Structure formats: C-alpha cells, structure tokens
Amino acid sequence: MTTTQQGSPRGDIPLVNDVAAARQSETVERPRFTKPEIYSTMAGVLLVMLLASLDQTIIDTAMPHIITDLHGFDLYTWVTTAYLLTSTVMVPIYGKLSDIFGRKPIFLIGVVLFLLGSAASGASQTMVQLVFFRAFQGLGAAALMPIAIAVVGDLFTARERGKWQGVTGSVFALSAVVGPTLGGWITDNASWRWVFYVNLPIGIVALLVLIFVMPTLKSQRVGKAIIDYPGAILLAAGTVPLLLGFTWAGSKYAWLSPQTIGLFVGAVILITIFIFYEARREKNQRQPIIDPSMFKNRIFSVSVLITMITSMGMFGSAIFLPLFSQGVLGFSATESGLRLVPLMGGLLFSSIIAGLLVSRFGKYKWIAFLGMLITIGGSVLLMQLGLHSTNMDLIVDMIVLGLGLGFSMSLYTVIVQNALPTKIGQATSSLTFFRSIGGTIAVAAMGSVLNSTYVPAYHNALPTTLKAVLPAKAIETFNDPNVLLSPEIQQAFQAGLAKYGPAGKTLYTELMQAVKVGLTDGVHNVFIFSTIIMIVGFFAIFFLKEIPLSGGRARQITSEAPEDAAAATASLVTIE
C-alpha cells in the first residue's frame, strides 16, 4: 500500500498513488488465470448472485400463504426487515474480511450460512422462528453479492471488468422477472416452504464449484491481520436504528414521533462515534472495517452518492409502479408483476451495453451522463401517467427508465474498483452498503410523499352525495392505498353496499374513482420527487473525476491449497 505525500495540497494523491501502484504491478510477469478457471469460477459466482437476488423476489409472492399457515400477521414486515437489517449491517464487514483473508474463504462462509438459513427458514413452525432464521440467512446473504462483484475485480483488469459487470448486472433483471413467477408457481403447486428449499440445490452446485474450481485469490493484506471487532459492533449498533427509523417512519410511527426521533438521534450518535474511532484506527494502521480515507477520494465519494440516488430511482419504480398499475389501471397482482418485465428488459440490455462500452473505450464519465439523462427522461415520462394512461404508455415509460438505470447499475462498481485497486473488497462492499441505505431511504421518503398527497386528494375527489350517504368510518377504510391490493377487502366492502340496492353499485364506482384520483396524484408526486433526485445525480456526475481504466494481465493467484492458505492466514490473526 502506498502512502500519502505529506503536505500535498491535493486530496487525490492517495488515488494517484494507488492507481500507479496497481498499473505498475500489472506490468510484472505474473501467472495468468486459465480460461477454464475463469469461466468455471464465473459460473459459480453468477449462480451465487442469482441465489442472492432471486431470494427476496420469490419470497414476496409467498408471504400471504406463509402468514395464513403460521398465523403471525403482526410479524409480517419483520420477515423482510430482519433479513434486511443483518444483511445490510454485515456487508462492509465481509468486504473488509475478504480483503484480509482473501475472497474464497469468506465467500464460502457466506454461502454456507445462507443455505443453512434457507433450510431453517423452510422448516420454521412459527413466525418467530421464521423471523429469527431469516435474520440468520441475512448474515450469509451479506457476503454473497459484494464478494461476488469483488471476485470479478480480482479476476479481470479494469477494462475487462466492464463487460463482466454488465453480465452480473443482468442477473438482477433475470431474478426480478423470474422470481415472482417462480414464487407463485411454487406456492400454488407445492408448498411455501419450497421458496426457501429451492435455494439448496442451486447453492450446493455453486458451493462445489467454488470449493473445487475457484482459485485461491491472493489477499491484499500486508503484514499481520487485525480484526476490528469494536468497529464492527459500532457499525452494527449505528446502522440498525438508522434502518429501523427509515423503515418505520411514516408507517408505524410518525416522522416526528419520539420513537422515530429517538432512533435517528441514536443512529447519528453511534455512527459519529464509529467514524471517529475508525479514523483513529486507520491513523494508527490498525485495519479499520471501513477506511475513512476512502471518502477523501473524490471518485469514490461521488460514486457512492450517485449509487444511492440510482438506488432510490430503482426502488421507487419497483414499489410504486405495481401499486399504480393495480390501483389505477386495474391489473391483477400477477399482471402487475409482469408489467415490470419491460423495465427489467431495458435494464438488462443497457447493463450489458454499458459494460461493453466501458471495456471498449476505457472511459466512463460520458456513459454515466448518458445513463442519468435517460433515467431522468424515464422519470419525466412516468410523471405523465394518469387515469387514462394505456398499457402501452406504461410499457414505453418503463423501457426508457430501465435503459437509464441499466447504464448505472454496474458502472460505478467498475469505477470504484479502478479508483481503489488495493481496496477492492472494501470499496465494493461499501458501495453495496450505501445502495441498500439509499433504497431504504427512498421507500420511506417516497411513501411519505404518497401518503401526504393521497389522503387529501382522495377525500377532495369524493362526491358530496357519497359523503352524505356513507359513514366516515367506511370512507376512511380506503385512507390506506394498500387496500387496493387486497381484493378480499374490496369485495367485502362492495358486499356491504348491497344494502343500498342498485345505488350501491353507483356508490362503489364513485368511491373507486375517488381512490384512483387520489392514488394518481400521489404517484405523480412520487415521480416528481424521484425526478428531482435524479437531476441532483446528474449534476453530481460533473464532480466525478475520470481516470483511464487500466488493462494488462489478470491478478496473481496463490499456489497454496485452500486449507493451507486459510491456516497460514489464521495464524496471523490478532483480536483487538
């Protein structure tokens, strides 16, 4: 690891030195990976990525059946929240450990934990057990995606990574399309337990490939390994209340409630302590979980910001477009899920194209601008959706948005790996960590925008004759737009209006029209908010420095057997 020049006025000297060192190392004659090693390892990596990205999309479809079987509606959200908490918190920790010990052992640990969690989740007999085992599954899931992407950084040079990151990005699109359909089919034709068990055969194949074929990549550690346990504890202690605050704000608790404020204040205090502790640890060369100096690298810090913004756009469209298509356009849940196929198709196509362009030209800034411009265009088109929008309008809008998002999905991974070649594990996992944080913030913020717009717009659209006939409590049933996703509640409400005779159908039609008006206004404001965020991201790209992507030979692998390498590494570990 190179050192910073003292007294230099330039904040990017560490970046320049790191890149220079990385390129110098590539001119040295090193053993090259064989094609069988590369392709077989990438096959295992892609299987692991599919495993991680497919998991949540399959489970979402099965949740109503799970709730019915295990009788725990009050813990419904915790099945996802528990998984999100542990997987998000552990991401940067695994990234650092993979830099210390090498990718392979940490990767294998993650896959094993994930599979054990999947098996235990499928065997759960109560909702409490399921929540606990989902949290355990998240401990393993945290290692899968960031280390898989870091392995790409180890196997290929910066310019070669572009096309491979495009391929890995397409895995997300595939899982988004296949997941809901597969989850629905499994639930309808077998048992909800198989949405967890299906991970086992895929994971075992990936595990065997990684054990017997994946080369033991040389770790980036210099000297004795030191595990930063206090830093890991502080990171977890600060991240958990932050995520819970954004998860519960505007839904379970009001934004200004004592509970929400308490969570955010606690998170700020603990994260501040974490930052100062990590800075001191790095100054003393004690191998912190996250090196604060990475954020002095403008390329890394700007990439983190843009990645969070892109994540907000992705999460916003994935969550609120199905709500619009079901609540306003009248599609079923299955049809609504299929309406996301154009979005993912555009994302898949542009993700691959962006990777090829990066590999071909070795420059990325113009691709970043192009991707964000297309994304803004897609967001503007979504703002035009209304009561009279057609299926074709929705398809075109989602294709455009998907094309823009695809340019950004994998691009910034290539950028930060090129900027911090000696900290690939940390850089990649940190990017994944902040992408998750961005998505969580987006769901909370956009949900609040929707709710604050929907309720008054819905009530304003109600005819005075309807307000005079129906009791206030009945009208307030639809204050929550998620009721539109429950055919059972709508049918029960419609049956209750039967006592009004033929006028009951008219009342229900007028009520549904008011609901659609309110939801249309709410979703419109959500996409205005999303567009503003994307515009901020566009201007942030101006601050993104561009350094040419390096080429040359692939990185070195160790000749030790995996168990010998692990033993040698373990003997150097110090617990502090």
DSSP code per residue over 291-342:
-GGGGGSHHHHHHHHHHHHHHHHHHHHHHHHHHHHHHTS---HHHHHHTTHH
pTM: predicted TM-score of the whole model, two decimal places: 0.76
Is residue 210 in some structural domain? yes
pLDDT tens-place string over residues 293-321: 898 899 999 999 999 988 887 777 767 88
Looking at residue 300, what is its pLDDT? Answer: 93
Looking at residue 220, what is its pLDDT? Answer: 54
Is residue 272 in some structural domain? no
AA identity, residue 424? I
Is residue 546 in some structural domain? no
d(CA 305, CA 237): 23
Looking at residue 323, what is its pLDDT? Answer: 79
For 557, the 3-state DSSP assignment is strand
Name the token pair of 24: 């110098």
Name the residue with tokens 């940067």.
92
Is residue 161 in some structural domain? yes
Is residue 390 in some structural domain? no
Is residue 441 in some structural domain? no
Is residue 22 in some structural domain? no
The residue among 220, 241, 263 that closes a domain is 220
pLDDT tens-place string over residues 484-495: 666 777 777 778
* Residue numbers in the chain where pLDDT is lower than 50: 1-19, 21-31, 552-576
Max Cα distance, the chain (Å): 86
- CB of 527 closer than 8 Å to CB of 338: no
Q: Is the dihedral of CA 552, 553, 554, 557 positive or negative?
A: negative
Domain that holds residue 71: 29-220
The residue among 519, 542, 566 that closes a domain is 519
The residue among 479, 499, 519 that closes a domain is 519
Into how many domains does the chain fold? 2
Mean pLDDT (the chain, rounded): 80
Is residue 174 in some structural domain? yes
Looking at residue 9, what is its pLDDT? Answer: 39
* Residue-wise burial string across 400-417, b where 16 or more C-beta atoms lie within 10 A, e elsewhere: bbbbbbbbbbbbbbbbbb
Looking at residue 549, what is its pLDDT? Answer: 75
- The CATH number of the domain holding residue 116 is 1.20.1250.20
